[in-house]
Structure 1
């Protein structure tokens, strides 16, 4: 997958049950800052963070402010929402190799 650059703020996802809403913005060279609010944070917070951070890493994102409101999303949804928000924030129109994502093992 290509390297992306966050150019503006973007949002992906919903606040419906079994989904998540993720917002991303530039972070002025401060690295990745991740704020997670989740109804299942006690049980799955570490896994949610891991999936988001590894997906950002695969996309080449090293500097971003990320805010997440999770409503019990599965890993595949977390990955898809993270990819979508990066694409929106980078103003890049690229096709996504969805089958290739399976090799990520996130």
Structure 2
């Protein structure tokens, strides 16, 4: 999926995360700030990378401020941010399996 504009998703509330994604011609860069990074950083990154891979995102910058979000919340927020950045209004649910 081609990112066309900067997009945001999520909140800074407890058990949520805030995502800012920006388009770029450079390879994908993922920056994660989390209160639980030392415990769950690898899992957070793996979940984010899996969603981005399924959506075909290979370039851009993704900045995540995590406040202890569960995997399902991480997936939803990444999907929302990517869809907004790509200007998409429909989601291919089969691609997310």
Give the TM bin, normalised by the shorter chain: over 0.9
Distance, in Å, in 2 between the alignment partners of 1:54 and 1:65 is 15
Runs of 5+ consecutive residues of structure 2 not aligned to the other structure: none
Q: CA offset at residue 56 of structure 1?
A: 0.4
Residue 36 of structure 2 is aligned to residue 36 of structure 1 = no
More strand by share: 2
- TM-score relative to the length of structure 1: 0.86
| Corresponding residue for residue 20 of structure 1 | 17
Select 2:88's aligned residue among 83, 86, 92: 92
Distance, in Å, in 2 between the alignment partners of 1:9 and 1:69 is 16
Q: CA offset at residue 96 of structure 1?
A: 5.4
**When the two structures are aligned, how many residues end up with a matched partner?**
97
Distance, in Å, in 2 between the alignment partners of 1:11 and 1:22 is 6
Runs of 5+ consecutive residues of structure 1 not aligned to the other structure: none
Give the direction of change, closer, same or farther, for the CA distance of 1:100–1:35 in structure 2 (3 Å limit).
Answer: closer
3-state SS in 2 of match to 1:56: helix
| Corresponding residue for residue 78 of structure 2 | 82
